[in-house]
């Protein structure tokens, strides 16, 4: 069993509830063992009882941007391979950090990588994925509510008010991500 040390294993970000999980890796000549998620540890830091009901695996090409997606459930993301560049956006209209972008990079291309995971609370956190490097990314995520497309929202990846600093030009985008609304269209009261 791996050690329980929430203060050391979980790092708070500048957006309330969003944390970077960097639990220890136990390895030897055979390989390594890593537990990206510990329920009690996460609860000790965030106060959130995370009970996943769905596990999803995405395989993403380099140069892809999936952004900015917000769903109303808690989510734990774990890129197993590749380099994840993740601009996270606070889309909670009542939050003191509304519109703030927090940049997180997780590089799991090396054998001795930290093997980090990222926890995103429900209620309006925009999750973005940008795959860097040349390696395909195996991207796993756990959610605590079954996927319901009607509860998923998006904001334009190139929204001028967010001014996200993307490290690639001419990204590969889905048709949906090409037409997501701007922040001003979703929250006009914040810009009047």
Active site residues: 69, 141
Neighbouring-strand partners of residue 117:
21
**Cα-atom radius of gyration of the chain, to the nearest Å?**
17
CA–CA distance, 80 with 117 (Å, rounded to integer): 9
Exposure string over 21-35, b if 16+ CB within 10 A, otherwise e: bbbbeeeeeeeeebb
Q: Closest Cα partner for 66 from 84, 53, 82?
A: 84
């Amino acid at each position: 069993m791996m050690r329980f040390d929430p203060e050391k294993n979980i790092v708070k970000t500048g957006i309330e509830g969003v944390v970077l999980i960097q639990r220890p890796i136990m390895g030897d000549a055979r390989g390594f063992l890593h537990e990206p998620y510990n329920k009690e540890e996460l609860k000790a830091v965030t106060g959130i009882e995370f009970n996943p009901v769905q596990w999803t695996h995405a395989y993403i090409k380099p140069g892809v941007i999936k952004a900015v997606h917000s769903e109303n459930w808690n989510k734990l993301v774990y890129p197993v391979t590749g380099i994840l560049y993740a601009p996270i956006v606070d889309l909670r209209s009542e939050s003191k950090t509304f519109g703030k972008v927090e940049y997180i990079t997780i590089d799991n291309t090396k054998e001795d990588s930290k093997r980090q995971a990222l926890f995103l609370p429900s209620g309006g956190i925009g999750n973005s994925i940008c795959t860097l490097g040349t390696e395909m990314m195996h991207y796993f995520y756990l959610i605590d509510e079954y996927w319901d497309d009607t509860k998923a929202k998006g904001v334009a990846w190139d929204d001028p008010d967010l001014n996200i600093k993307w490290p690639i030009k001419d990204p590969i985008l889905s048709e949906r991500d090409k037409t997501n609304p701007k922040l001003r269209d979703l929250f006009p009261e914040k810009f009047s």
